[in-house]
Amino acid sequence: MTNLVEITQEYVELKGINPEPVFIAVNRLAAVCGSKTVEEYTRQDARVFVDSYKDVSRFGKVTTTTVRRRLNSLNAVFNYAI
């Protein structure tokens, strides 16, 4: 079982991409759903992640485009992990 942060680091190094946007998404997911292994995350966790962006008082206001980018980052990490 692989920790999400570890697999994200591996993914970023392999792809040679800027780690900041990917880790913003991963850290947000861990903040709202808890730190889990890749296999333990569920579709419900993804819903909670998206819904967390509605909590402006906790995380600040973001656009729909930003939420989509964050989801795309997470999707890429999860696809890599599988």
- Please report the pLDDT score of residue 57 as a whole number: 64
Q: Is 11 exposed, middle or buried (0-12, 13-18, 19+ CB in 10 A)?
A: buried
pLDDT the model gives residue 33: 92
Predicted model pTM:
0.84
Task: Fill in the amino acid letter for 36.
Answer: K
Question: Which pLDDT belongs to residue 52?
Answer: 87
pLDDT at 20: 94
Model pLDDT, residue 62? 81
* Residue ranges, the chain, pLDDT below 70: 1, 57-59
